[in-house]
Structure 1
């Protein structure tokens, strides 16, 4: 995936509408496999939180066994699949419209994978805790300045904060591969 300069912007209420529009389409496309609602996750799902202006979406599916078919129907709808994702064993990771001007990320994950719970739990704890939300915003601003052209390093550097926030609400984050920096 091509990196673009990291940009953290003020919260935009339009992100919720953008999510709703895409979620409806994704739910229709993935209907044969979907096992739950398409969720708005990540920083754009948290009112008041500064974020990269990229809407993160989670589509829980019964299984990833038919991944080739899921990738095909999503690609036909304009989603770009990242086959070199180091976490491809447990998720499908897609974006649109293209790496250098992405507006949406889509993670397709088996509903019984613990990462589904962690994505939703982290969103919910940020929505409910203004202090934690503020600390996370500060961390993200600092990391974006430090890693302005290295999206993977930025993502990896947030891991400890996210893990501690999750543990604070009784959710143990699963061990996952770090992204190559």
Structure 2
């Protein structure tokens, strides 16, 4: 499968501010329907090389999903369904040029995907030696497969599986 050019860069402390800006807009739109907005993915781990794309998990009560979808769709987000991952709803967007490129997901608070994202992030935050190794592998993958996301992901899969095993997933 071909994709846009894959770029992995050194950690940028500005990613925290980028996350907070996106989080603020989401909270303004969804108000009290938001239980939490979690910065997940590689940009959420200090010193980890990453594709400069912010991943966010918006945590909600499952009963509020239809209203959340409606509100987000009225603010430039396009609902894509669960993309074959149960309890994680994906959104793309238009007209958000003022924000860092991001992936927005909405998860109920008991979502296995949410728990997996948080466990992976939290493990990496506590293991700088793994962060260094994982970052190196990600850079190698991007260099070897700059236009093939499937091969990029396959190249990283061994270390990801090692981390999942460490955290019991």
TM-score category of the 2 structures, normalised to the smaller one: 0.7 to 0.9
Give a deviation string over 1:1-53, Cα, whole Å, max 9, x none.
Answer: x931110111111110010111122123233533x320111111111111101
Q: Report the Cα offset of residue 160 of structure 1.
A: 4.2
**What's the TM-score, normalizing by structure 1?**
0.77
Q: Which residue of 1 aligns with 2:56?
A: 57
Tell me the C-alpha RMSD between the 2 structures.
2.6
- In the alignment, the residues of structure 2 paired with residue 43 and residue 142 of structure 1 have an alpha-carbon distance, to the nearest angstrom, of 15
Give a deviation string over 1:121-154, Cα, whole Å, max 9, x none.
Answer: 1111111211100111122112222332233443
- In the alignment, the residues of structure 2 paired with residue 109 and residue 156 of structure 1 have an alpha-carbon distance, to the nearest angstrom, of 25
Paired residue for 1:76, among 74, 84, 95? 74
- In the alignment, the residues of structure 2 paired with residue 155 and residue 97 of structure 1 have an alpha-carbon distance, to the nearest angstrom, of 26
Q: For the Cα contact (< 8 Å) 2:88–2:111, is it kept in 1?
A: no
2:72 pairs with 1:105? no
Q: Which residue of 2 aligns with 1:26?
A: 26
Paired residue for 2:165, among 140, 164, 167? 167
Structure 1, unpaired ranges of 5+: 173-181
- In the alignment, the residues of structure 1 paired with residue 112 and residue 90 of structure 2 have an alpha-carbon distance, to the nearest angstrom, of 16
Q: Report the Cα offset of residue 66 of structure 1.
A: 5.0
- In the alignment, the residues of structure 2 paired with residue 38 and residue 44 of structure 1 have an alpha-carbon distance, to the nearest angstrom, of 14
Distance 1:70 1:159, change over 3 A: farther
**What's the TM-score, normalizing by structure 2?**
0.82
Give a deviation string over 1:32-81, Cα, whole Å, max 9, x none.
Answer: 533x3201111111111111010111111111x55443223212222233
Structure 2, unpaired ranges of 5+: none
Greater CA deviation, 145-154 or 39-48? Answer: 145-154
Bigger helix share? 2
The alignment covers a number of residue pairs equal to: 165
Q: Which residue of 2 aligns with 1:37?
A: 36
